[in-house]
């Protein structure tokens, strides 16, 4: 009898735990989605936990319990905007980043990376602007903005490392200066300005970013 009850109880825990975890994940996702909408529409400072709770149709304490602070919630909004979901997979290991690694010439790598810039810009350009505007509101937000800039530079470094592994380095540029060039052009603010602001198509934007990186690195058509 005791054994049977133990088995039954274990079965309930086995089945209930994944269900509870999935419900908790769905709640977190509802909060992140609501926060993203409100941060973009109203700005970080003008958005409260109460506003986010109402938008997500959860209780205010639920928002606090899930994230602890508004800055931590903004960090999660940024992470998901960059990655596209809440899975713990780095951007450089995502399927949509794979064409960068598969590029066999500098030109092919830069064209693929321009596509990555388009993907990230489409998801994260407005969120980047939210963080940029909020960066002066406290050390935690300033640190988040700094982390975002360092991550952009890390992405540029990976691209240059890959290009240098395929061919001699860009003529007239040392490694760090080449990284500088790619870092300037992987800024999502270009997407926000040109696609959202000026009405460029995504294809026009992607081609322009690829051309600007190629030109900035001094890579002629014969080598790229």
pLDDT tens digit string along 113-161? 999 999 999 999 999 999 999 999 889 999 999 999 999 999 999 999 9
Instruction: State the sign of the Cα–Cα–Cα–Cα dihedral 87, 92, 93, 98.
Output: positive
Cα–Cα distance for residue pair 113/99, rounded to 1 Å: 8
Helix (H) or strand (E) holding 156: helix 139-166
Least-confidence region, from 3-7, 9-13, 210-214: 3-7
pLDDT of residue 4: 44
Percent of the chain's residues with pLDDT above 70: 89
- 120, 82 Cβ separation under 8 angstroms: yes
Cα–Cα distance for residue pair 46/38, rounded to 1 Å: 9
Cα–Cα distance for residue pair 126/130, rounded to 1 Å: 6
- 82, 124 Cβ separation under 8 angstroms: yes
Mean pLDDT taken over the chain: 89
171-209: burial string, b at 16+ Cβ within 10 Å, e else: eebeeeebbebbbebbbbebbbebbeeeebeeeebbeeb
Closest CA to 117 of 46, 33, 50, 211: 211
- What confidence tier does 167 reach under pLDDT thresholds 50, 70, 90? confident
pLDDT of residue 2: 41
Reported pTM: 0.85
pLDDT of residue 173: 81
The torsion defined by the Cα of 192, 193, 197 and 199, in degrees rounded to 10, comes to -90
Surface-to-core class of residue 26, CB atoms within 10 Å of its CB (0-12 exposed, 13-18 middle, 19+ buried): exposed
């Amino acid at each position: 009898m005791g054994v049977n009850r133990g088995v039954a109880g274990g079965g309930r825990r086995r089945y209930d735990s994944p269900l509870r975890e999935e419900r908790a994940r769905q709640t977190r996702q509802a909060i992140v989605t609501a926060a993203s909408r409100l941060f973009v529409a109203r700005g970080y400072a003008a958005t409260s936990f109460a506003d986010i709770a109402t938008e997500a149709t959860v209780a205010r304490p639920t928002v606090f319990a899930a994230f602890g602070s508004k800055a931590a919630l903004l960090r999660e909004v940024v992470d998901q905007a960059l990655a596209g979901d809440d899975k713990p997979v780095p951007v450089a290991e995502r399927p949509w980043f794979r064409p960068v690694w598969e590029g066999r010439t500098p030109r092919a790598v830069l064209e693929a990376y321009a596509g990555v810039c388009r993907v990230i810009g489409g998801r994260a350009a407005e969120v980047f602007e939210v963080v940029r505007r909020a960066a002066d509101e406290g050390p935690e937000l300033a640190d988040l903005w700094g982390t975002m800039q360092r991550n952009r530079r890390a992405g540029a470094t990976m691209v240059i490392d890959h290009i240098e592994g395929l061919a001699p380095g860009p003529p007239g540029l040392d490694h760090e200066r080449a990284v500088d060039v790619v870092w300037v052009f992987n800024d999502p603010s270009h997407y926000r300005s040109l696609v959202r602001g000026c009405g460029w198509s995504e294809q026009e934007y992607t081609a322009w970013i690829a051309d600007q990186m190629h030109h900035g690195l001094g890579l002629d058509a014969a080598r790229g």
